[in-house]
Amino acid sequence: MFLKRILRSVPVIRDASLRSNDFSRNKQILSAKARTQCQYSTQITPKEEPSEVKPTEHEHNAKLSAEITKQLMQFFDEKDNWGAQRVRVGRAWKKEELRIKSSTDLHKLWYVLLKEKNMLFTMEHECKAEMRVLPNPDRIDKVLESMYNLEEVVRERNKAYHLLETGETGERPFKIVFNKLGLRSFYKLWEHIVPKELHEKWKNHIFSYSHNETKNFLKLYREKLWVKKRRSKLQERRYIFQLFKRFPNVDKEYLKELYPDQDIEKLRQSKLTASHLQQKAN
Amino acid sequence: MRLFPNLNSYRNYKRFVGELTKKYGNFPESFLRRRIRQIEFKTPRGFPQYQPRTIERQNFYFGQHRPWTDEFRNQNSISSKTRIIHVEPIRDWSFFKGDRVEILEGKDKGKQGIVNQVVQERNWVYVEGLNCKLKNENKTKKSLGIYYQDEQPLLVTRDVALVDPSDLQPVSVEWRYTEEGEKVRVSKRTGRIIPIPLQAEETLDYKTRGTYVENKEKDTGEDEVLTITYEPKLKTFEMEIMEAMGIVEDRIPKKTYWY
C-alpha cells in the first residue's frame, strides 16, 4: 500500500533512550513503568525455559508496561527529529491527488493524518514546556490543509450521489435570515422530531424586526458603513495621485482593473498629479 | 504585492506578499499568514456576548528580508511605525532569479550581471556584485572594523533591463504564447525567446524541483500518489466504508423535520 510508508515505525524504548536528557519530562511520565522492566532485565538473566511455563505476575506486568509505553510513544516524534534544526518534508495533499483515491484509501489516510496531527500537537506542547523550538512548525499547517482537502473530496462524492438519487445535496440546509438587530445572518437549520406547528418552544423564535429602535440603529449602522467606504475611496484616490506623480508611465489599463471605483482618466488630468521633477509623459 | 497599504492586512494579505516570495518560501499560506500577523487583542470566540473583533497591526514594511524571517519581525516591531511606500503596479512580472540584466542607472551603469534576489513587494532586484555600497561594522578607536560591499536594490521599472541572449543588448520584453500554448518571454526588438532560468525554481527546500530528495519516513512517493484506485460507484462514502468493513444497517430512520 502507498500508505505503508507514512506509517512510521515506533521507536522501542531501551535503557539508553531513557537516560538521555532530551526530554526529561517524558522520562518522568514513562519512568514508573519503564524502569521496572529495566531492573528486571539487569537483575535476572533470561533463561531458556520451555514455553509451557506460565509467566509470573511480575513478568507479565513488565511486558504489559513495555507494550503500553511503546503505544504511548506514538504520540511523540521519532527520536532523530527531537533536537533537529529542520525536518525535511514535502507539501500537503492536493484535492486533485485525493480525487483519484478510493474511499477505503481515503479512510485510511484520514487516520494516518490524524495520528500525525496528534503527534505534532503533543510535540508542540512538549517543546513549549521544555523551552525548545519545534522544528518546522509549518508541518501542522500542512497536515491540517490536507485533512481539510480530504474532507472536501468526500463531501463532493456524497453530494454527487445525493444529487443523482434525490435531487438535493444531502447536506445540512441553511437560510439567510434577519436577526433581532435587523442584520442579515446565516442560519443553519436543525433537525427536529416534531413538526414546526406542534413545537411549543418554537413559537417564541423570532426572525424579524419591527421596533423603531432597530430601525434607528440600522440607519446609523448603514451610515457608519458608508462613511468607511467613502473614506477608503478617498484614500485610494490620494494614493493614485501619488502613483501618477512618481511614475508618470504607469500602466493605466491595469490601474483601472485594480481600482474599478475610480475614474482613472479624470484623475490623470488633475493638477495634483504634476511632479516638479518629471514632465507628463502621457 | 503592496498595492494599497491602508487596508486591513488580514483581509488583503495576499496582496501584500508577492507571489514569487511565496513560491520561494514554499510554505502553506495559513502558516505564512500566522507568521506575519501581529495580534494585539482578540475577543474570545464562540460566546454570544462577544463580536468577532481583532486589533492587529495593519501596515508592514517590506524590504530585503523575507516575511517569515526574524529580521522581518524585528523591522516591524511593535514600536516601529511604517510610512506609506508607493509601488508601481506591474501586471506581468518578468524578472527572475538567475536572469542576466543590464544596469541603466547608477554608478555601475552599462554593466551586466546576474540577478541575485527578487523583492516583488517593492519592485526590487539585487544584482550580484554590482551597484554596491561600502559599509563598515564594529569600528572602534583602536580597530578599523570590517569593511564589506553591500548590494543595493535596483528598481525594475527604471534601473534595469533584461539582456537579449542573441546579441547581449538590453531589450524590453513582452509575454506571448507559443503554438503549444506555453507562456514565454519574447524580446520586442529581435523576437527571440528569453528562457526563464533554472535558478528561478529554487525554494527553501530544494534548488531545483528534480533534485528534491524524499523523506522516506514521512513523504509519500510520487508513483504511489499518482496511482489511480478510484472506481466510481453509486454509493456514498459512508456506504462504501460500511460495505468494506462488513457493517449492515437495517434500521429505518424516523421521519424528521428541518426548521
Q: What is the ipTM for the molecules in this complex?
A: 0.86
Residue A92: domain span: 73-171
CA distance A91 to chain B (A): 8
Same-domain status, A258 and A275: yes
Domain assignment present for B94: no
Domain assignment present for A87: yes
What DSSP letter does each residue of A145-195 carry, written as one string? HHHHHHHHHHHHHHHHHHHHHTSS--SPPEEEEE-TTS-EEEEE--EESS-
Strands B146-151, B183-187: pairing kind = unpaired
Q: In 3-state terms, what secondary structure has residue B125?
A: strand
How many domains are there within chain A? Answer: 2
**What confidence score (pLDDT) does residue A253 get?**
94
Going by C-beta distance under 8 Å and a sequence separation of 6 or more, which residues neighbour residue A129? Answer: A25
Same-domain status, A183 and A268: yes
State the Cα–Cα distance between residues A114 and A199, nearest whole angstrom.
Answer: 40
**What confidence score (pLDDT) does residue A277 get?**
67
Same-domain status, A121 and A164: yes
Tell me the mean pLDDT in the region A21-43.
45
Q: Is the pLDDT of residue A7 over 50?
A: no
State the Cα–Cα distance between residues B148 and A104, nearest whole angstrom.
Answer: 60
Say how many CA atoms lie within 13 Å of A279 toward its Cβ. Answer: 1
Domain assignment present for B27: yes
Q: Is the pLDDT of residue A262 over 80?
A: yes
How far from the centroid of its chain's Cα atoms is residue B100's Cα? 21
**Percentage above 90 pLDDT, chain A:** 53
Cα-trace Rg, chain B: 26
Same-domain status, A147 and A164: yes
- 8 A C-beta contact, residue B112 and residue B168: yes
Domain assignment present for B20: yes
Tell me the mean pLDDT in the region A251-279.
87
Domain assignment present for B169: no
Same-domain status, A233 and A252: yes
**What confidence score (pLDDT) does residue A279 get?**
53
Q: What are phi and psi of A192, to 5 degrees?
A: -125, 155
Kindly report the number of other CB atoms within 10 A of residue B235's CB atom: 15
pLDDT digits (tens, 9 = 90+) for A69-83: 989 999 999 988 988
Q: Do A5 and B219 touch (CB under 8 A)?
A: yes
Instruction: Report in angstroms the alpha-carbon separations of B166 from A135, B14, B162, B170, B192.
Output: 47, 37, 12, 11, 8
Same-domain status, A151 and A235: no
CA distance B139 to chain A (A): 33
Percentages (nearest 5) of helix, strand, coil residues in chain A: 60, 5, 40
How many domains are there within chain B? Answer: 1
Q: Which helix (H) or strand (E) holds A139?
A: helix A138-165
Same-domain status, A195 and A232: yes
Domain assignment present for A127: yes
A246 in reach of chain B (CB within 8 A) = yes
Say how many CA atoms lie within 13 Å of B90 toward its Cβ. Answer: 19
Domain assignment present for B184: no
Going by C-beta distance under 8 Å and a sequence separation of 6 or more, which residues neighbour residue A274? Answer: A245, A280
Tell me the mean pLDDT in the region B193-204.
94
Last residue of a domain, one of A171, A198, A220: A171
| H-state helical runs in chain A | 15-19, 24-43, 57-72, 95-98, 103-129, 138-165, 212-246, 252-258, 264-268
Same-domain status, A262 and A215: yes
Q: Is the pLDDT of residue B191 over 60?
A: yes
Interface test with B, best of A5, A166, A240, A249 (most B CBs within 10 A): A5
State the Cα–Cα distance between residues A58 and A62, nearest whole angstrom.
Answer: 6
How sure is the predictor about A192, in pLDDT bands with cuts at 50, 70 and 90? very high
Last residue of a domain, one of A142, A171, A200: A171
pLDDT digits (tens, 9 = 90+) for B136-188: 999 999 999 999 999 999 999 999 999 999 999 999 999 999 999 999 999 99
A79 closest CA partner among A155, A131, A14: A14
- 8 A C-beta contact, residue B10 and residue B33: yes
Say how many CA atoms lie within 13 Å of B259 toward its Cβ. Answer: 16
Q: Do A235 and B228 touch (CB under 8 A)?
A: no
A275 in reach of chain B (CB within 8 A) = no
Tell me the mean pLDDT in the region B126-130.
95
Domain assignment present for A97: yes
Same-domain status, A98 and A151: yes
Q: Which helix (H) or strand (E) holds B241?
A: helix B237-245
pLDDT digits (tens, 9 = 90+) for B78-112: 888 888 888 999 999 999 999 999 999 999 999 99
| Cβ-Cβ contacts under 8 Å, A134 against chain B | none
Least confident of A3-17, A60-74, B16-30: A3-17
Q: In 3-state terms, what secondary structure has residue B122?
A: coil
Q: Do A192 and B257 touch (CB under 8 A)?
A: yes
Tell me the mean pLDDT in the region A250-270.
92
Q: Do B91 and A106 touch (CB under 8 A)?
A: no
**What confidence score (pLDDT) does residue B48 get?**
83
Domain assignment present for A158: yes
Q: Is the pLDDT of residue A23 over 80?
A: no
DSSP β-bridge partners for residue B56? B39
Same-domain status, A235 and A148: no
Q: Do A239 and B236 touch (CB under 8 A)?
A: no
**What confidence score (pLDDT) does residue A45 get?**
55
Strands B132-137, B183-187: pairing kind = unpaired
Domain assignment present for A205: yes
Q: Do A193 and B257 touch (CB under 8 A)?
A: yes
- Mean residue pLDDT of chain A comes to 83
pLDDT, greater one: A114 or A48: A114
State the Cα–Cα distance between residues B48 and A10, nearest whole angstrom.
Answer: 44
**What confidence score (pLDDT) does residue A19 get?**
47
Q: Which helix (H) or strand (E) holds B185?
A: strand B183-187
| Cβ-Cβ contacts under 8 Å, B241 against chain A | 103-104, 107
Q: Do B230 and A99 touch (CB under 8 A)?
A: yes
Domain assignment present for A21: no
- Mean residue pLDDT of chain B comes to 90
Kindly report the number of other CB atoms within 10 A of residue A67's CB atom: 11
- 8 A C-beta contact, residue B124 and residue B57: no
